[in-house]
Amino acid sequence: MTATAASETTYAVRRLTVAVPGVREFQRAYEQAVPSVPVVDVQDLVRRAAPWQEMVELIDARAPNGFLIYFRNDVHPVMKAAGDEADCIAYLMGNHLIAERMFRHDPRAMLYAPLHTVIWEGHDGKAWFSVDQPSTQFSSLGIPAIDEVGIELDRKLAKLLTVLNVEAPAVLTGG
């Protein structure tokens, strides 16, 4: 898309929320299944202007379930200072190999990549994991090649939830 004038897009997104065993218990499992992005190694590849294949090999080796954590925000301590007791950790989770496959078609895909995820506690003490369904976000760009990657991300998210012993919502698998 070439910008020639201001535009606006209204679209629907599906937020998925699934029950998890406990905020900190699920956090440990999640962070084991989704390791942190190897920032120093990525920066080294960029600095050396390494061939993209080296990036592919690095990320494939470090993201056993297809995703990496780019940012972690333990919201609980700050909110507790305000008197709020609910536990919450927010993340940016993604994979820049997958993101690049969308970026090449439209850099606006970075509005939704990496994915925002939240492990949180309700007022009743129950723990939850929430994420916006990737395909519903990426389809807002109206580019079939990006739509396909969004659907692929739905499937990868379903697989991750299964690895974490959480039932994946049927919409992630097309069921």
State in words which class domain 15-172 has.
Answer: alpha beta
pLDDT, tens digit (0-9, with 9 covering 90-100), for 70-128: 999 999 999 999 999 999 999 999 999 999 999 999 999 999 999 999 999 999 999 99
Spatial CA neighbour of 154 closest among 128, 130, 129, 136: 136
Residue 3's pLDDT is what? 61
DSSP string, 85-102: ---EEEEEEE-HHHHHHH
Residue 7's pLDDT is what? 87
What percentage of the chain reaches a pLDDT higher than 90?
93
User: ω into residue 114 within 30 of 0, thus cis?
Assistant: yes
Q: Tell me the C-alpha distance between 171 and 106, whole Å.
A: 25
Instruction: Judge whether residue 174 has pLDDT over 90.
Output: no
At residue 139's C-alpha, the angle toward residues 20 and 63, to 5°, is: 50
Residue 155's pLDDT is what? 98
Contacts of 9 (CB under 8 A, 6+ apart): 140
Residue 1's pLDDT is what? 52
- Which element (helix H / strand E) includes 28? helix 23-33
Instruction: Judge whether residue 160 has pLDDT over 60.
Output: yes
Q: What is the pTM assigned to this prediction?
A: 0.93
Instruction: Judge whether residue 175 has pLDDT over 80.
Output: no
Residue 138's pLDDT is what? 98
Instruction: Judge whether residue 2 has pLDDT over 80.
Output: no
Residue 113's pLDDT is what? 97
Task: Give yes or no for a contact between 114 and 99, defined as CB atoms under 8 angstroms apart.
Answer: yes
Average pLDDT value over all residues in the chain: 96
